[in-house]
Amino acid sequence: MFNDKLKMLRKMQHFSQDRLAEEIGVSRQAVAKWESGDIFPDITNLIALSQLFDVSIDFLVKKPEACTKREGPLEEVAIDQDELQRFLYKAKIRTYASGIEQDIDGLREYSHDYLYEDPPYHYHDSYVGNEIFSGQEVVTFEGYPVWALSYQGRVLHSNFSSKFLKEALFHVTPERPFKGPVHFQKGASVYHCQSDGDLAWVTGREEVYFNEEKVYELVFHGGLLKE
C-alpha cells in the first residue's frame, strides 16, 4: 500500500505535497499521483523517499504482514540491543502516536492493532477495550519474538483527550522508547511518565492531568525475551 504509507509519512513530518516535491526534486503533480495510486515512483525516487523518511524501501513497497514463525530455537538469535532500541523508537512514533489510523485486520476480535516493520524487525501493538483497556506490544526479529511490553490503562474523566496523549507519546525519546517522555505539557493538559529499568527489563506508569486533576492512568512492564 505504497500510496497510503507515503501519505502517512508525509503527514507525520507535517510536509505539504509541495514541500515533499521540493525535498525529492519532483513536481507536486508527481507526488499527488503517487498518493492517489495513479503512478509509482522509479527506483531513484524510492531511494530518495526512504532516505528522507528514514525507512527501508521494503517498508515503502511491501504490505505489512503478521510475522511468520520460524523454525529453530530462540537461543540461536543474536540481537543488537542498540539496533533494537532504534527500531523500537521508530515504531513508536510511526504507529499509535502518529495519530494516523491503520486499516488492518485485528489480531483478535474487537482488538485495535498497529503494525510497523523495517526488516528484519517487525512491531505489533494490539489492545482491547476503550475507556478501560489492556494490550501488548511485541517486537520480532526474523520472525522470532525478542521483546514485549504489556500495559493496562483507563480513562478517569471526560476531560481526557486521546489527541493530547498521542501528541505526548510522539515525543518519546530514543533513549527510553517505552511510552512517552518524562514530562510533556500543552495548555492545561500535562503528561507524566515514570519508568524504572531499561530495554532488558522495565516497569513504569504514565498519567495525564487536566487542570491538575488526573484524567488518565496506565501501568506497563516488559523487556527482552532473551539475553
| pTM: predicted TM-score of the whole model, two decimal places | 0.74
* Dist. CA 209–CA 189, nearest whole Å: 6
The model's pLDDT over 194-209, given as tens digits with 9 standing for 90+, comes to 999 999 999 999 999 9
Q: What is residue 5's predicted lDDT score, i.e. its pLDDT?
A: 82
For 14-69, the pLDDT digits (tens) are 788 999 999 999 999 999 999 888 899 998 998 899 888 887 788 788 765 544 44
Confidence of residue 129 (pLDDT cuts 50, 70, 90): very high
C-alpha cell at 51: 532516505
Give pLDDT, residue 102: 72
pLDDT score recorded for residue 68? 47
Amino acid making up residue 86:
R
- What mean pLDDT, rounded, does the chain reach? 88
pLDDT of residue 66: 46
Res 72 pLDDT > 80: no
What's the pLDDT tens digit per position in 55-69? 778 878 876 554 444
Q: State the pLDDT confidence band at 215, using cuts at 50, 70 and 90.
A: very high
User: Which positions ≥6 away from 118 have C-beta within 8 Å?
Assistant: 55, 56, 58, 59, 87, 90, 91
Q: Tell me the average pLDDT across 204-221.
A: 98
CB 96 within 8 A of CB 75: no
Residues above pLDDT 70, as percent of the chain = 91
Of the candidates 20, 42, 46, the residue with the CA atom closest to the CA atom of residue 31: 20
Residue 110: predicted pLDDT = 86
Residue 107 has pLDDT above 80, yes or no: no
